[in-house]
Amino acid sequence: MAVVERAKIYEGTRIPSPIPTVLRVDPALREEGDILQVNFGPNHPSTHGVLRLVVDLNGEQVVGLEAVVGYLHTGFEKNMEQKTWWKGITYPARIDYLSFQYNELVFVLAIEKLLEVQPPEKATWMRMLLCELNRIHSHLIWLGTGALEIGAISMLWYCFRERDAVLDLFELVTGTRMHTRYFQAGGLAEDIPPGFFTECRRFVDYFPRRIDEYEAILDRQQIWLERTRGLGLLSAEDAIALGQTGPVLRASGVDWDLRKVQPYLAYDQVDFNVPVYENGDVYDRYKVKMDEMRESTRIVQQCLDGMPEGPWIVDDRKIVLPPRHELHTSMESLIHHFKLVTEGYRVPPGEVYVAVESARGELGCYVVSDGGPKPWRVKFRAPSFAALEATATCMRDALVADLIAIVGSLDTVMGEVDR
């Protein structure tokens, strides 16, 4: 059997022009060749949601590509302008529905930045713990569904078994599996219930062995290597020019992780590595995510060991509801409760942009406040939005079968793209 020459990372730029996000068919090819335009419609069996790719094929090879989005446009930003700051926290979780707590986190961090309030240590560490569990959750779903599309069907069941374990932990602490809405401006919504730390420790103890299992199944499997090595190449310069962040950027050789370069929460107090790989192909993005799951487990372990005692929310009654028992005795608490529930707390005027490293990359939130109880403008910078801009560049010299693998490796969540 002839050994297929694997493509290596390229020099120069492969960004198509004039439109950077659309691969246009070469006119010469259009005349001589037999170009077939196929619609990978909004409903396709791969579970990346409602993405439409209009693909021009010359035989098996992809010679033209355009991504059409907007099939899940929800109008989050306009809806959030009508809700108070507190009630608005319910919305962001549905934007990136795989790593839902990151969206809440970034919105809450933006509110806290405008309010200039610092949540207590316990809240910060707990947020970090839950967000890293959420990163594990997101990567598990990516691995399960991504491997399913390429053909490694059994990964779906293994990954979803672990995913259910993570969701059990979320249910234990927040009351619901997905869209937990546990973060408030000022800390957490409630104290951490007893039993959570034990269960979390148990999960963290067995989870690295599971990652070993997944790697044993996929890492050196010949079909997996054939279908992921050398595909979807994206060089470091192209990745930066196209606004990529997260695992896609790190798989292209750029050592950039917001948790290290601009530590938020308590990331400067925990010890973890950032996996960086050089080849910029689908296989490296898979390796980056596997390593990130391991590093997240390490962070969760350190959070469990170093979890401080103390209050779970800041004590400022102007932004946080007073404890219920005080409402019976203190008039001021009653008034604060009333004002906070009916009108909502007010955030000083200003504009901020806060970015966190979500499972997909830099998730940013730009908030403009007019001083009132409702936001004036909220915009979420979604990493998948930028990732889809890179499809045209990654898809050079790709075959139809590779198309699915490459789009899967960019790890896009359409809720985030369309907002």
Partner 1 sequence: MAEVERKKRLADYGLHSERVLMRRKEPGVFERELGDLEDKLMLTTVQKAVAWAQGHSIWPDTFGLACCAMEMIAIVSARYDVARFGAEVFRSSPRQADLLIVSGRVAHKMAKPIRQIYDQMLEPKWVIAMGACASSGGMFANYAILQGVDKIVPVDVHVPGCPPRPEALLEGIVRLQEKIIAGVPPAYEIRDVAS
Partner 2 sequence: MSYESVPGFVSETEALDETTIVVQLERLVDAARHFRDELGFNFLADVTATDYLGWNERAVAGYWGSGTGRDINRPGSWGLATKPDPKAKRFSVSYHLVKLASGATEAPRLRLQVWCDDGDAVPSLTPVWPTADWHEREAWDMMGIRIEGHPNLTRILMEEDWEGHPLRKDYPLGGEPVRFSSEE
Q: Which range binds partner 1 by CB under 8 A, 22-30, 172-180, 245-253, 323-331?
A: 172-180
Dihedral sign for Cα atoms in the order 255, 259, 262, 267: negative
The answer to whether 99 touches 135, Cβ cutoff 8 Å, is yes
The answer to whether 277 touches 253, Cβ cutoff 8 Å, is yes
Tokens of 391: 């499809």
Q: Which residue number, 164 or 316, has a Cβ lying nearer to partner 1?
A: 164
The answer to whether 83 touches 94, Cβ cutoff 8 Å, is no
Q: Which of 153, 353, 399, 401 binds partner 2 (CB under 8 A)?
A: 353
| By the rule CB under 8 A, 362 interacts with partner 2 | yes
Site for partner 1 in 123-152 (CB under 8 A): 141, 145
CB of 317 to partner 2, least distance (A): 7
| By the rule CB under 8 A, 388 interacts with partner 1 | no
Measured from the Cβ of residue 226, the count of other Cβ atoms closer than 10 Å reads 13
Stated as kind and residue range, the H or E segment containing 114 is helix 100-115
The answer to whether 178 touches 97, Cβ cutoff 8 Å, is yes
Query: What b/e readout covers 105-118, taking b as 16+ CB neighbours within 10 angstroms?
Result: bbbbbbbbbbbebe
Q: Which residue number, 84 or 99, has a Cβ lying nearer to partner 2?
A: 84
CB of 307 to partner 2, least distance (A): 21
Q: Which range binds partner 1 by CB under 8 A, 14-22, 71-79, 267-275, 291-299?
A: 71-79
Query: What b/e readout covers 132-157, taking b as 16+ CB neighbours within 10 angstroms?
Result: bbbbbbbbbbbbbbbbbbbebeebbe
Q: Which does 236 bind (CB under 5 to 8 A by kind): partner 2, partner 1, none?
A: partner 2
| By the rule CB under 8 A, 262 interacts with partner 2 | yes
Instruction: Give 348-411 as a DSSP string.
Output: -SEEEEEEEEETTEEEEEEEEE-SSSS-SEEEEE-HHHHHHHTHHHHTTT-BHHHHHHHHHHT-
Q: Which amino acid is at 185?
A: A
# residues near partner 2 by CB under 8 A: 69
Distance in angstroms (rounded) separating the CA atoms of residues 364 and 97: 15
| By the rule CB under 8 A, 329 interacts with partner 1 | no
Distance in angstroms (rounded) separating the CA atoms of residues 134 and 356: 13
Instruction: Give 330-365 as a DSSP string.
Output: -HHHHHHHHHHHHT-----SEEEEEEEEETTEEEEE
Q: Which range binds partner 1 by CB under 8 A, 25-33, 40-48, 283-291, 389-397?
A: 40-48
Q: Which of 9, 22, 30, 71 binds partner 1 (CB under 8 A)?
A: 71
Q: Which does 368 bind (CB under 5 to 8 A by kind): partner 1, partner 2, none?
A: partner 2
Q: Which does 204 bind (CB under 5 to 8 A by kind): partner 1, partner 2, none?
A: none
Site for partner 2 in 383-412 (CB under 8 A): 385-386, 388-389
Q: Which of 38, 153, 216, 261 binds partner 2 (CB under 8 A)?
A: 261
Nearest 5 degrees, angle CA 206-CA 257-CA 381? Answer: 105
Per-residue x/- marks for partner 2, 317-336, CB under 8 A?
xxx-----------------
CB of 216 to partner 2, least distance (A): 31
Site for partner 2 in 184-223 (CB under 8 A): none
The answer to whether 346 touches 373, Cβ cutoff 8 Å, is yes
Distance in angstroms (rounded) separating the CA atoms of residues 106 and 192: 21
Site for partner 1 in 81-110 (CB under 8 A): 90-91, 94, 97-98, 100
Q: Which does 240 bind (CB under 5 to 8 A by kind): partner 2, partner 1, none?
A: partner 2
Q: Which residue number, 163 or 396, has a Cβ lying nearer to partner 1?
A: 163
Q: Residue 69 has what DSSP assignment?
A: -
Residues lying near partner 2 in the complex (CB under 8 A) = 15, 18-22, 69-70, 73, 75, 77-79, 82, 113-118, 236, 240-243, 253-256, 258, 260-262, 276, 314, 316-319, 339, 343, 345-353, 355, 362, 364, 366, 368, 370-373, 376-377, 379, 381, 385-386, 388-389, 418-419
Residues lying near partner 1 in the complex (CB under 8 A) = 41-45, 47, 49-50, 70-75, 78-79, 90-91, 94, 97-98, 100, 141, 145, 156-157, 160-161, 163-164, 177-179, 414-415, 418
